[in-house]
Amino acid sequence: MTTTVSQKQILDALSKVNDPELHRSLTDLKMVRDVVIHAGKVEVTIALTVSNCPLKSQIEEDVRAAITALPEVKQVSVKLISMTDQERAALFGEPKEGAAAPYNHIQNVVAVMSGKGGVGKSLVTGLLAAALSKKGYRVGILDADITGPSIPMLLGLHGPVEPGPVGLRPLQSRGGLKVMSMNFLLTNEDQPVIWRGPLIGKAITQLWGDVMWGDLDYLLVDLPPGTSDAALSTMQSLPVKGVVMVTTPQGLSAMIVRKAVHMTQAVGVPILGVVENMAYFICPDTGKQHFIFGPSHATEITLAASAPLMAQLPIDPNVAALCDAGHVEDVKLTEIEGLIEAFVKAAPVQAERQHG
């Protein structure tokens, strides 16, 4: 008598295979549509939640591996189809605000702030994100600069973004960062966003709750200058663990950054550390250090913020060129190592969730 694998065994095996994004089993998500068994040959049909699913080959591989591991299975073929809008709505409900949030697991939300414009907030966000990712952390960037987004340009990313089953899918940078910006949602990148405060706040909460960030160790929020709409909305509606405060040596910058320090203190968000950007310039001809913007005010800011100085970054024409070319992930500065060490110390990742 020849024994053969049963449909129940196959469904049991597939009930242990999770959708890698939604962390629910394929059977629970009603993705297993058909199982045909004939003389040790198994043919399964899997309905993807969306047709453009970027993880379809991983799902196919996981299904194949789970069935191949069963006894009496000689051959497995996996047919992929996709759910209809009705099927998706029956499973996840009609699309609604904040639908992605329950599927996201983000350990540390950290805002990069200054109060002052043009001091290098977006650069520091990009440098931190790229260096954390190179260390193996899972990192995202939420561009909260709704009206003047720089993150897409620093990373050379352009929309549009694709919809996923429960929200929008962030774009992936060359270095593997998950990135979402208002710019990706505009039909024309040059189109200005002319919005008042409440809409800015709403846009930020949507970039948080309507985006499939998935599992992240760090989500860095690049704030626009100022201490009002975007900064307030971010700190009041997102679970911000702390702020990295960016400053430059100018006296004016120090004065405005102190305001930002007081604002974060007023809303009860801790300052994790201070980064002084454009601290000095090393002349390539003489190797001499020049303090273009005058003497450092970093100590003053760190005292006001009760936070450590994480780094003093030089003015470097290579940095500016790489930023303009969309290659912020390729910036190499010796100061970055110390910056990351101080950052991870201030916002550590729990061991059991690291590199998952």
Q: Which is nearer to ligand ATP, 13 or 263 (CB)?
A: 263
Q: How is 231-286 classified by DSSP, letter by letter?
A: HHHHHHHS-EEEEEEEE-S-HHHHHHHHHHHHHHHHTTPPEEEEEE-S--EE-TTT
- Nearest approach in angstroms of CB 346 to ligand ATP is 20
316 contact choice in ligand ATP, Mg ion, none (CB below 5 to 8 Å, kind-dependent): ligand ATP
Q: Which neighbouring-strand residues pair with 111?
A: 221, 243
Q: Which of 278, 307, 311, 340 binds ligand ATP (CB under 6 A)?
A: 278
Q: Which is nearer to Mg ion, 104 or 277 (CB)?
A: 277
Q: Is 116 in the site for Mg ion (CB under 5 A)?
A: no
Polymer length in residues for the chain: 356
- Distance, CA of 24 to CA of 29 (rounded, Å): 7
**Whether the Cβ atoms of residue 152 and residue 162 lie closer than 8 Å to each other:** no
- Nearest approach in angstroms of CB 54 to ligand ATP is 29
**Whether the Cβ atoms of residue 31 and residue 46 lie closer than 8 Å to each other:** yes
Q: Which is nearer to Mg ion, 133 or 150 (CB)?
A: 150
- Distance, CA of 328 to CA of 215 (rounded, Å): 23
> In whole angstroms, how far apart are CA 181 and each of 11, 34, 132, 189, 197?
40, 39, 20, 11, 17
Residues of this chain, 294-313, that bind ligand ATP according to CB under 6 A: 313
Q: Is 150 in the site for Mg ion (CB under 5 A)?
A: yes
Q: What angle do helix axes 251-266 and 229-237 make, rounded to 10 degrees?
A: 30
Q: Is 234 in the site for Mg ion (CB under 5 A)?
A: no
Q: Which is nearer to ligand ATP, 209 or 224 (CB)?
A: 224
- Distance, CA of 165 to CA of 181 (rounded, Å): 19
Among the listed residues 14, 73, 6, 76, the one whose alpha carbon sits nearest the alpha carbon of residue 47: 14
Q: Which is nearer to ligand ATP, 20 or 148 (CB)?
A: 148
Q: Which is nearer to ligand ATP, 5 or 323 (CB)?
A: 323
Among the listed residues 53, 37, 32, the one whose alpha carbon sits nearest the alpha carbon of residue 5: 37
> How many chain residues touch ligand ATP (CB under 6 A)?
21
- Nearest approach in angstroms of CB 66 to ligand ATP is 46
- Nearest approach in angstroms of CB 121 to ligand ATP is 4
- Nearest approach in angstroms of CB 61 to ligand ATP is 40
Q: Which is nearer to ligand ATP, 13 or 119 (CB)?
A: 119
Q: Is 60 in the site for ligand ATP (CB under 6 A)?
A: no
**Whether the Cβ atoms of residue 210 and residue 166 lie closer than 8 Å to each other:** no
Q: Is 122 in the site for ligand ATP (CB under 6 A)?
A: yes
Q: Which one of the spans 23-31, 63-71, 143-151, 172-180 is the region binding Mg ion (CB under 5 A)? A: 143-151
- Distance, CA of 99 to CA of 102 (rounded, Å): 7
Q: Is 121 in the site for Mg ion (CB under 5 A)?
A: yes
249 contact choice in Mg ion, ligand ATP, none (CB below 5 to 8 Å, kind-dependent): none
- Nearest approach in angstroms of CB 25 to Mg ion is 42
Q: Which neighbouring-strand residues pair with 193?
A: none
Q: Is the peptide bond before 95 cis (omega within 30 degrees of 0)?
A: no
Q: Which one of the spans 16-24, 95-103, 318-326, 338-346 is the region binding ligand ATP (CB under 6 A)? A: 318-326
Q: Is 315 in the site for ligand ATP (CB under 6 A)?
A: yes
Residue type at 66 in one-letter notation = A
Which spans of this chain sit near ligand ATP (rule: CB under 6 A)? Answer: 114, 117-123, 145, 148, 150, 224-225, 277-278, 313, 315-316, 319-320, 323
- Which residues of this chain interact with Mg ion, rule CB under 5 A? 121-122, 150
